[in-house]
Amino acid sequence: MTVRVPSKINLHLSVGDLREDGFHDLTTVFHALSLSDEVTVAVAEEPGLEISGEGAEDVPTGPDNLAWRAVEALAAHVGRTDPKVRVVVRKGIPVAGGMAGGSADAAATLVALSSLWKLDLGRDELAEIAATLGSDVPFALYGGTALGTGRGEQLVPVLSRHTFHWVLAFDHEGLSTPSVFGELDRLRENGNPPRVGSHAPVVEALASGDPRQLALLLGNDLQAAAVSLRPGLRRTLRAGVNAGALAGTVSGSGPTCAFLCADAETALEVAAELAGAGVCRTTRVAHGPVPGARFVTGDDVR
């Protein structure tokens, strides 16, 4: 049972002030990209998890792995103990890159395993389990483009009329999401870093399908914090625009930078130029929106 699952970028990410419980309210526009991971699950006498691909050496393979936590959550949901399954993850999404790769693997595992165990759970039921695993996990189930509120887990689909073309610039090392939020709190205590406005214009630009309009509106409150922790990102962002992208933004908590391009051909040119400019580890082209976790055979979840 093999499931392909998309990465995400945030076209808009507004972060509220630090709450008493240590969390932040978020308003975000998620956008699922064709850059993806694949997860295979199979019945096995020796349960466990294997990882290969992009950044695999940085991912825990024990009980902390989000894909394994998804196995345990689904088993608990249906009252199974000691799940005898093997999970194989092939990573294309950079680890700790702000593209929710771990969350994607958890979503893919829920879809694959519920089919392997013939549980007949719909996407909405899986999304309830997904939300207990992390705030980005439900979006990876649905994909597309969606407005996320709360901690990002309350989702409403957003109409997007166009396929948008992106270049992703991977950095040499990941950034920890909690440290980026911590840096934003620190910047806000000591000053007034810029805040993105309302998400409404982004939603309108998506409906119009005009990449030039959308490019003017990309915004991320975490960008200042990611750039503060990784000053080289400023150069990467500038280089993407100099290479011909319409605009660039830090994806989520970074350090991956996402560049919106006018079309697929320009994206290929920008990716090649950026890769040669020495401002990132490597580049990928991707398009969005794409659907959420689904079987590689093309079959959908009910």
Binding residues vs ligand ATP (CB under 6 A): 59-60, 64-67, 89, 95-103, 105, 136, 174, 177, 252-253
User: Is 1 annotated as a binding-site member?
Assistant: no
Residue 95 labeled ligand binder: yes
Q: Which of 105, 136, 171, 221 is catalytic?
A: 136
174 is in an annotated binding site: no
Which residue number, 138 or 211, has a Cβ lying nearer to ligand ATP? 138
Give the nearest distance from C-beta 209 to ligand ATP in angstroms: 27
Quote the least distance from Cβ 31 to ligand ATP, whole Å: 14
Among this protein's residues, is 171 annotated catalytic? Answer: no
For residues 83 and 174, which CB has a smaller minimum distance to ligand ATP in the complex? 174
State both tokens at 6: 């998309």
Distance between CA atoms of 263 and 265, rounded to whole angstroms? 6
Comparison of 28 and 266: residue with beta carbon closer to ligand ATP: 28
Query: Based on CB atoms, which residue is closest to ligand ATP, 207 or 296?
Result: 296
The values of phi and psi at residue 147, to 5°, are -90, 125
Catalytic residue among 8, 37, 91, 171: 8
**Angle at the Cα of 165 from the Cα atoms of 216 and 35, rounded to 5 degrees:** 120
d(CA 55, CA 93) in angstroms, rounded, equals 8
Residue 134 known to bind ligand: no
How big is the chain, counted in residues? 302
Amino acid at residue number 122:
G
Q: Is 136 a catalytic residue?
A: yes
Q: Which is nearer to ligand ATP, 33 or 246 (CB)?
A: 33
- Does 272 carry a binding-site annotation? no
Tell me how far, at minimum, the Cβ of 188 lies from ligand ATP, in Å: 20
CB of 273 to ligand ATP, least distance (A): 25
Q: Which residue is at the shortest CB distance from ligand ATP?
A: 102
- The phi, psi pair for 125, rounded to 5°, reads -70, -40
Taking the C-alpha atoms of residue 97 and residue 113, their distance in angstroms, rounded to an integer, is: 26
Q: Closest distance between ligand ATP and the C-beta of residue 101, in Å?
A: 3
CA distance 43 to 107: 18
| 97 labelled ligand-binding | yes
Binding residues for ATP: 94-104
Which residues are catalytically annotated?
Answer: 8, 136
Binding residues: 94-104
